[in-house]
């Protein structure tokens, strides 16, 4: 059995569950993007950096038995969960354990490729986009969700420790070869690899503690503090200070939050 290959966010049980919650919260926006791109019954779709397969399962349901979904992912922990989910739900999804920076995508002829929050963690987005473009059919379409302005993540009223937290997150991704605001580079990379942008929209939300979406940033802070502490990047005292500021925000009836801005891109192979 291969050694687990994790990354800056980790691939443990808590992070896996957080990805599940995150997908449930984002699901309506994702479905809208997929529909706009044209994913439908009979489509052949590649899920790039599929993680534990929460979006993969939705894709398999949409494309049905006439279509097909292929998932590629580097973490064996996540792939084991993805395979379990597909078995329980009786979806026939081919899945491959691979590193997008080193390995080739083993299947091709895709009508669509879906990729969310993966490009921000790889050291060469251009290599990744080249591989995805090569795996597409003529007129195949990509749908990407990536951050375009991570620092748009703000608390109202401001919190010093929350702002330090977002700085730490961005720093940790950059120091491990990623780029949080990778969406800023995607339109040029698409053009360089023969993909023409057909639609794009920013996804940013102003939320309150009572909103379902509130659990998305809050669970990220909770789990990422543990992860950054485990990696020796921050002190216990600093984590406590961040948690205290979040607790104050949770209990303040006037709190509002702007979420880190995600950009949706739909682009078609020429």
Ligand X SMILES: C[S@@+](CC[C@H](N)C(=O)[O-])C[C@H]1O[C@@H](n2cnc3c(N)ncnc32)[C@H](O)[C@@H]1O
Contacts of ligand X in 103-132 (CB under 6 A): 116-118, 121-122
User: Is residue 99 involved in binding ligand X (CB under 6 A)?
Assistant: yes
Is residue 132 within 8 A of residue 126, CB to CB? The reply is no
Phi, psi dihedrals of residue 228, rounded to the nearest 5°:
-65, -35
Cα torsion through 124, 128, 130, 134, rounded to 10: 160
Q: 67 or 125: whose CB is closer to ligand X?
A: 125
Bridge partners (DSSP) of residue 153 are: none
Choosing from 32, 42, 84, 101, the residue that interacts with ligand X (CB under 6 A) is: 101
- Residue 13 or 208: the one with the smaller Cβ distance to ligand X is 13
Q: Are 172 and 228 spatial neighbours (Cβ–Cβ below 8 Å)?
A: yes
- Residue 223 or 249: which CB sits closer to ligand X? 223
260 part of the interface to ligand X, by CB under 6 A: no
State the CB neighbour count (10 A cutoff) for residue 4.
13
Minimum CB separation from ligand X for residue 145, in Å?
7
Which tokens in the block code for residue 63? 């494309």
The residue (of 62 and 249) whose beta carbon lies closer to ligand X is: 62
> Smallest gap, in angstroms, from Cβ of residue 75 to ligand X?
4
For residue 34, state whether it binds ligand X (rule: CB under 6 A).
no
Q: Which residue is nearest to ligand X (CB)?
A: 51
Stretch that binds ligand X, among 97-105, 129-137, 208-216, 227-235 (CB under 6 A): 97-105
Per CB under 6 A, does 18 bind ligand X? no
- Rule CB under 6 A: is residue 33 a binding residue for ligand X? no
Paired tokens of 208: 């309150």
* Shortest spacing between CB 132 and ligand X, in angstroms: 12
**DSSP β-bridge partners for residue 149:** 261
List 257's β-bridge partners, or say none.
155, 207
Q: Convert 229-254 to b/e letters by CB count within 10 Å (16 or more is b).
A: eeeeebeeebbebbeebbeebeeeee
In terms of CB distance, is 4 or 87 closer to ligand X? 4
Judged by CB under 6 A, does residue 44 bind ligand X? Answer: no
Report yes or no: 49 and 144 within 8 Å, Cβ to Cβ. no
Binding status of residue 100 toward ligand X by CB under 6 A: yes
Q: What is the DSSP letter of 67?
A: S
For residue 151, the minimal CB distance to ligand X (Å) is: 19
Q: Is the dihedral of CA 147, 67, 71, 17 positive or negative?
A: positive
- Closest CB to ligand X among 123 and 208? 123
Secondary structure element (H or E) that encloses residue 156, with its range:
strand 154-156
Scanning 62-70, 74-82, 191-199, 223-231 for contacts with ligand X by CB under 6 A, the matching segment is: 74-82
Please choose, from the candidates 68, 95, 91, the residue with its C-alpha nearest in 3D space to the C-alpha of residue 79. Answer: 95
Contact status: 219 vs ligand X (CB under 6 A): no
Q: Distance between CA atoms of 111 and 39, rounded to whole angstroms?
A: 8
Residue from the set 58, 73, 146, 179 that interacts with ligand X by CB under 6 A? 73
Contacting positions for ligand X (CB under 6 A): 7, 9, 19, 23, 49-51, 54-55, 73-75, 78, 99-101, 116-118, 121-122
């Amino acid at each position: 059995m291969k050694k687990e290959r994790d990354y800056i966010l980790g691939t443990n049980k808590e992070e896996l569950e957080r990805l599940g919650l995150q997908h449930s919260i984002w699901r309506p926006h994702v479905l809208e993007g997929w529909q706009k791109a044209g994913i439908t019954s009979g489509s052949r779709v590649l899920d790039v950096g599929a993680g534990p397969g929460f979006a993969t399962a939705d894709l398999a349901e949409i494309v049905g038995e006439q279509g097909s979904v292929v998932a590629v992912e580097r973490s064996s922990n996540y792939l084991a969960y993805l395979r379990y989910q597909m078995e329980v739900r009786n979806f026939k999804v081919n899945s491959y354990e691979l590193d997008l920076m080193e390995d080739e995508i083993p299947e091709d002829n895709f009508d669509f490729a879906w990729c969310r929050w993966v490009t921000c963690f790889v050291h060469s987005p251009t290599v990744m986009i080249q591989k995805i473009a090569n795996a597409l059919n003529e007129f195949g379409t990509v749908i990407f969700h990536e951050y375009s302005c991570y620092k748009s993540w703000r608390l109202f009223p401001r919190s010093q420790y929350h702002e330090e937290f977002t700085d730490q997150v961005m720093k940790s991704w950059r120091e491990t070869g990623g780029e949080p605001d990778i969406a800023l580079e995607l339109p040029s990379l698409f053009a360089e690899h023969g993909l023409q942008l057909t639609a794009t929209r920013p996804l940013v939300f102003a939320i309150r503690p009572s909103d379902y979406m509130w659990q998305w940033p809050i669970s990220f802070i909770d789990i990422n503090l543990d992860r950054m502490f485990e990696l020796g990047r921050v002190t216990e005292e600093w984590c406590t200070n961040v948690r205290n500021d979040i607790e104050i925000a949770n209990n303040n009836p006037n709190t509002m939050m702007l979420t880190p801005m995600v950009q949706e891109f739909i682009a078609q192979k020429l």
